[in-house]
Amino acid sequence: MLCPDGGCQDPPAGTGRPPRHPPPTVIEMPRTAVFSGRTVTRPTIDDIARRAGVSKSAVSFALNDRPGVSPATRERILRVAAEMNWRPHKAARALGGARADAVGLVVARPAQTIGAEPFFGLLLAGLQSGLSARSVALHLMIVEDTAAEIEVYRRWTSERHVDGFVVVDLQHRDRRVPVLEELGVPAVVLGGPSGHGTLPGVWADDREAMLSLVDYLAALGHRRIAHVAGDEAFHHTRRRMRALKDAARRLHLADAVSVPTDFSDAQGASATRALLSGPRRPTALVFDSDVMAVAGLAVAAEMGVAVPAGLSVVSFEDSLLTRIVHPSITALGRDTFGLGGQVAATLLAAIDEPGSVRDVKTATPRLTVRESTRAPYPRTTA
């Protein structure tokens, strides 16, 4: 059954059409590729076919678990393939119209920001973990601005470089959404519940979260709450600001102001300084990000405002940061890693069965109470 070592060539009824170019002197060795001067052998299904004494097609059938080969032959082919340490050539498969088995994540942010926020890294890790379970790779690209981001969407789509995209940082009237819709490529937007057109969105209920947060602070006795918000261009920032307003009205709070920033520690710090120096100093500060919360904490310390005695601090985003500082910061936590996994699952579903996928609402962030919050001094119960 098995060919003698060294490989046999087309044993049963080989047509043996002559090789086209100068006939190679040796045809037994699997073709080699050159990497850094050293040659690396790389068997193809042709090599396997020759060794196993069957045709290319039989090998393909066997390797892909398709009918058309007998169990015995199948097993033999698989054994030979394993022996030769064969792996499919991605490009060759892709050329045949198969998937790229990769999804793209293109981020338009100043590079420094990427590293700064734990959020991004965790999301990345969760995304990866969800994708790698299905052996789908993640192509990451960091670009200057939205225009460049859109260009990458166009290029990668037409090059069939990826099977779909993950879109982050959903903005108000986001320009990327119509482009992706037009390209017709599967994509999942991190954000919602609106503003992402027909693309499926994965979102957490920021509104609900803000309402519960304000409820908690009000229950403690806080009547003057300020919100150091993120960038107003972002969808979720706007939702949070609106939710604070609504909660304040419902609870008849004395003060409830939102100050937009660019998410940077610098602007977070200066907003905090301004709020704490104002005439009607808030008794509680809500920060839209962990980085800003920590920066705000430092400002309070510098200004001699004790936390939580003189000021309660809450972060809208939980992470390592809020845990390790002193005092540790009460924060709304969501499972960012898990979120990444959900996004991955949604995107894979959208790739497999376009149209079948609808929005996914993730668990509403829950409050972890730490050292930075407490009832305000009586005097502030204006």
Chain residues that interact with DNA, rule: CB under 7 A: 10, 12-15, 17, 19-21, 31, 42, 44-46, 53-58, 60-61, 63-64, 66-74, 86-89, 92-93, 95-98
Amino acid residing at 239: R
Query: 202 phi and psi, to 5 degrees?
Result: -115, 120
Stretch near its own copies under the rule CB under 8 A, chosen from 2-10, 55-63, 240-248, 292-300: 292-300
Residue type, 16: G
CB 39 within 8 A of CB 33: yes
Task: Using CB under 8 A, pick the residue from 23, 355, 378, 382 that binds its own copies.
Answer: 355
217 CB-near residues (< 8 Å, 6+ apart): 225, 284, 286, 312, 314, 373
In whole angstroms, the minimum distance from the beta carbon of 231 to its own copies comes to 17
The least CB distance from residue 337 to its own copies, in Å, is 6
SS3 124: helix
Of residues 334, 330, 376, 370, the one with CA closest to residue 220: 376
Among 29, 320, 363, 369, binds its own copies (CB under 8 A): 320
Q: Which is nearer to DNA, 97 or 184 (CB)?
A: 97
For position 297 contacting its own copies by CB under 8 A, the verdict is yes
Compute the distance between CA of residue 151 and CA of residue 153 in angstroms, rounded to an integer: 5
The answer to whether residue 139 forms part of the interface with its own copies (CB under 8 A) is yes
* Nearest residue (CB) to its own copies, 114 versus 254: 114
Of 53 and 200, CB closest to its own copies: 200
Angle 256-379-221 (CA atoms, 0-180°, nearest 5)? 50
What is the contact mask toward its own copies in residues 224 to 243, using x (rule: CB under 8 A)?
--------------------
306 binds its own copies (CB under 8 A): no
> Closest CB to DNA among 12 and 115?
12
Should residue 100 be labelled a site residue for its own copies when binding is judged by CB under 8 A?
Answer: yes
Q: Determine the Cα–Cα distance for residues 168 and 317; give it in Å rounded to an integer.
A: 16
Nearer to its own copies, 128 or 171 (CB): 128
Contacts of its own copies in 12-31 (CB under 8 A) = none
Handedness of CA 105, 109, 113, 115 (dihedral sign): positive
| Residue with Cβ nearer its own copies (90 or 361) | 90
Angle at which helices 71-83 and 45-52 cross, to 10°: 120
Interface with its own copies (CB under 8 A), residue from 44, 60, 129, 270 = 129
Please provide the DSSP assignment of 160-229 as one string. Answer: T--SEEEE-S-BTT-SHHHHHHHHT--EEEES-SSSSTTS-EEE--HHHHHHHHHHHHHHHT--EEEEE-
**Residue 85 binds which of its own copies, DNA, none (CB < 5-8 A, kind-dependent):** its own copies
Q: Which two tokens stand for residue 319?
A: 């992470």
Is cis: bond before 193, omega within 30 of 0? yes
Q: How many residues does the chain have?
A: 382
Residue with tokens 């390209």: 183
- Which residue lies nearer to its own copies by CB, 152 or 211? 152
**The amino acid at 284:** A
Contact between 78 and its own copies by CB under 8 A: the answer reads no
Per-position x/- string for 189-208, each x denoting binding to its own copies as judged by CB under 8 A, each - no binding: --------------------
Q: Which is nearer to DNA, 20 or 173 (CB)?
A: 20
Residue 102, contacted partner among DNA, its own copies, none, CB below 5-8 A by kind = its own copies
Q: Among 7-15, 124-132, 167-175, 238-246, which window interacts with its own copies (CB under 8 A)?
A: 124-132
Q: What is the closest distance, in whole angstroms, from the C-beta atom of residue 106 to its own copies in the complex?
A: 10
The dihedral of CA 195, 213, 275, 299: what is its sign? negative
